[in-house]
Amino acid sequence: MSTTILRRICVATNFNPESDAAVATASSLARTYEAHIDLVTVVEPPPLYAKVLSPIQSRITDIDAVVERVRQRLVEVGQQPPLEHLPVVAQVRIGSPFAEIIAHARERHDELVVVGAKSRTGLEGFLLGHTAERVLRKSPVPVLVAKKPLRATPTVIVAPVDFSAAGMPAIGQAVDLARQWGAKLVLVHAIEPAAEVYGWGAELAGGDVYLVEPEALDPEWQTLLAKLDLANVRWEQRTRRGYAVQTLCDVAREEDADLVVMGTHGRSALPHALLGSVAEGVTRNVACNVLTVRPDAFTFHLP
């Protein structure tokens, strides 16, 4: 794992409302830390079979003309609030959206990718959407899923803990952000029921049966905390019984968290460890923004 300064931010937009929070969050970070913005959108050509089934449409559709119209719209977005007066490079790419967003970030050496989440129609909460979810899964660059504009100075960060080596980069990122922002860091471990850990039906597990008591994890906590530089960080640790996704969402709600920072893959030999799917579950259901970090990804420091 390497560490770099946050100097370039890739923010993806499709001009829909879910992109507004992503653009606003990226602009806030860019203004605070004097970072450059790479504003990108992707035009996805229709698959070959669609052209066969719709020959008339294929004859009247000029992909170059579509790209040019999208480019003009993207330039306008970069010149208007909240991005106005920021160093913005706008680029339209052609291909699969998630793959092109990741490729753009790699080519431009961006340290962070910001994407939006779709609001559920008629319901509270959010859906990740196909593109955001695949970016989250595949990006080697940390991904910030913006549910709402991030405050210039966040006050609370929640970070799940599974005591695995794979989860350490995300926890280290959370510690660094808490120190830079002066935010409170809440480290949370969820002891899941045996039914969830082993994939049993509830009737086989006999209801909510737990493999360990919270105090039994004190040695794991001590080992973890010894690896962290928590100087000048306000922090708390919590161990709760319950399903990981629900537990983390509950803590984030109780703390009115600005951000959840978590790894996208966290597995260990401990039977109560969080699984990689927890990241997606939390990102779908939590009300605040989520920053995900792959185990093999670099992390960023704020200047």
| 258 neighbors 157 (Cβ within 8 angstroms) | yes
Cα separation of the two ends of the chain: 19
What is the bridge-based pairing of β-strands 118-119 and 126-127? antiparallel
Sequence-ordered list of residues with C-beta below 8 angstroms from that of 70, at least 6 positions apart, any chain: 41, 43, 92
Give the CATH fold of the 153-303 domain.
Rossmann fold (3.40.50)
Mean local confidence (pLDDT), 138-165:
92
pLDDT value, residue 3: 59
Position 180, amino acid: Q
pLDDT interval class at 279 (50, 70, 90): confident
Q: What is the DSSP letter of 215?
A: G
pLDDT interval class at 119 (50, 70, 90): low
pLDDT value, residue 126: 46
What count of other Cβ atoms lies within 10 Å of the Cβ of residue 159?
A: 26
Nearest to 171 by CA among 162, 159, 183: 159
Q: State the span(s) of the chain assigned CATH 3.40.50.620.
A: 1-149, 153-303
> Is a pLDDT exceeding 80 seen at residue 284?
yes
pLDDT interval class at 267 (50, 70, 90): very low
The CA distance from 284 to 278, in Å, is 10
pTM (whole model) above 0.75: yes
How far are the Cα atoms of 13, 155, 186, 238 from residue 182, in angstroms, in the given order?
30, 7, 13, 20
Which residue in this structure is represented by tokens 């670099």?
Answer: 298
Mean local confidence (pLDDT), 92-97:
93
> What is the SS3 assignment for 98-139?
HHHHHHHHHHCCCCEEEEECEECCCCCCEECCHHHHHHHHHC
Which CATH number does the domain 1-149 belong to among 1.20.1070.10, 3.40.190.80, 3.40.50.620, 3.30.1950.10?
3.40.50.620
pLDDT value, residue 270: 43
How far are the Cα atoms of 92, 134, 174 from residue 160, in angstroms, in the given order?
36, 21, 10
> Is a pLDDT exceeding 90 seen at residue 75?
yes
Would you state the structure tokens that stand for residue 69, as one six-digit string? 């119209």
pLDDT interval class at 262 (50, 70, 90): very high
